[in-house]
Amino acid sequence: MQVGGGAALSPYSIATALPPGFMGLRIVPFISLAERYDSNVFFSPVLPGLRREDYVTTFNPGIFFLHNHPLINTSLQLATRGEYFVIHPGLSYAGFNGTVTFMMNELARRVVAPGSSFVVSQNINYSPSLPGFTAGEQNTATTATTEIDTTTALVRSTALFRVNTLSATTTVGGAVPLSSSVLFQANYGYSLFRFGDSSLNEEVGGNRARTINSTAHSAQAGPAWRVTSSDTLSLRGVFENADYGGGQGGYQAIGASVGWHKVFSPFFTARVHGGATRVDQDFSGALGNTQSSEGVAYTGGAAVTYADGPQMLTLSYAVGLAPSFIAAVGPLQSHVVHVTAGRRLTELLSITGGFTYNRSEAIESTVQLPGTFFESYSGYGGVNYRISRQYFATVNYIIGTYRGNYFTPEVIAFGRNAVTFAISAYWF
């Protein structure tokens, strides 16, 4: 898993801070050049004859568009990413990513009802590195008014080895006020993963983790009650479905959850939610499974956020389901703990840091197959410095330990650490 402290400023934060451009359009081209020492570019355990370390040069140009319209606000970010490896030049590649978001709150208020909101977002990414643990981004409703809660129960598992990966995610969310204190919210998420060739072949170590194409759908809907000016209660129905390529079957989950959101002050908020989901699996003939099975998985989480001027701190925990795409098909129950912190020391200098713990395993613990258990500990720290109005410098360090039964029921472990120095420029 690749983790970083992030740039000093994002194209989005810069664009939104600028005065409106021509006809409401703001454009921010950007570019980043980075040098990295990486102790494990293959994300693999020690293998005979394999040198895992490398020195990597990264080139990352892109452009950000933000268009403000009376009815629809549109943001679009397009970027490419190229990396050159000194010791393993065969790993050098060019990838891309793009994100587009349509905020249609004003349109929803005019067409549906006053106080309504609606958002559509699409992301696509191509990279030779499998996605690691992620808990999904969320836009949390602070009160039962007009904001959309797009929290999902989708929690990702980890992976082994570099492999060409194309991923795409779509999120649609909306909210309609039923009364002055009740808001009905709904969201839908779609994701797909398509895999190519691994950077390690069968001759290296004699093993290779099998990757499996998957397509997943997730939907949630339910009311939220504004109990007081600072307390919101919510009730959600949850549905998830995942299908695997090659006729290997899939699973679906139906459940419910309840939540509470508390605003203690303008700087301090907390959120907790929990529920249960019934999971029906059908993998006839896949990986030795010859019949359908069912079980119950618990979902939920909690988050505390403190942000006061130059400093911020977030603590979060999430447990949910995600389709496994490494070695075995089926749902994994994933636990993710995040701690992130940041502080602006001066107008030009800031620091960031964080820690993540992840554990994913099959719902039925008796399953002894590869791809049914993953665990990791990782942390990062970074320093961001604004050289001038347009130029920024960052130094990041990451360290992690990863465990899993990738090839056989036996659990193996590997580590990775990396130091990155980057210079970024934004033209605005």
Going from the C-alpha of 297 to that of each of 146, 269, 286, 321, 381, the distances in angstroms are 31, 27, 22, 8, 34
Q: For strand 231-244 and strand 268-282, is the pairing parallel, antiparallel, or unpaired?
A: unpaired
pLDDT (tens digit per residue) in 235-252: 999 898 888 776 777 788
Q: What value does the mean pLDDT take over residues 37-60? A: 88
Q: How confident is the model at residue 10 (pLDDT cuts 50, 70, 90)?
A: low
Residues ≥6 apart with Cβ < 8 Å to 365: none
Q: What value does the mean pLDDT take over residues 330-343? A: 88
**What is the pLDDT at residue 421?**
97
Please tell me the least confidently modeled range out of 21-35, 273-287, 412-426.
273-287
**Looking at the predicted structure, is the pLDDT value of residue 14 above 70?**
no
Task: Kindly provide the residue ranges of all beta strands, DSSP E only, lying in 153-292, ordered along the sequence.
Answer: 162-177, 182-198, 214-226, 231-244, 250-265, 268-282
Q: How confident is the model at residue 48 (pLDDT cuts 50, 70, 90)?
A: confident
**What is the pLDDT at residue 151?**
39
Q: Give the pTM.
A: 0.79
Nearest CA among 91, 93, 22, 33 for reference residue 62: 33
**What is the pLDDT at residue 142?**
28
What CATH number does the domain located at 11-426 have?
A: 2.40.160
**Looking at the predicted structure, is the pLDDT value of residue 139 above 60?**
no
Domain ranges in the chain are 11-426
Nearest CA among 132, 139, 138 for reference residue 193: 132
Q: What value does the mean pLDDT take over residues 397-411? A: 83
DSSP per-residue letters across 220-248: EEEEEEE-SSSEEEEEEEEEEEEEESTT-
**Looking at the predicted structure, is the pLDDT value of residue 292 above 70?**
no
Q: What value does the mean pLDDT take over residues 92-105? A: 91
Burial of 209 (0-12, 13-18, 19+ CB in 10 A): buried
Q: What value does the mean pLDDT take over residues 60-67? A: 93
Q: For the beta carbon of residue 9, count every other beta carbon within 10 angstroms.
A: 16
Q: How confident is the model at residue 411 (pLDDT cuts 50, 70, 90)?
A: confident
**What is the pLDDT at residue 63?**
94
**What is the pLDDT at residue 312?**
94
* Cα four-point dihedral sign 282, 287, 288, 294: negative
Which residue is listed with tokens 């130091």?
A: 419
Q: For the beta carbon of residue 76, count every other beta carbon within 10 angstroms.
A: 16
**What is the pLDDT at residue 11?**
58
> pLDDT over 90 for what percent of the chain?
41
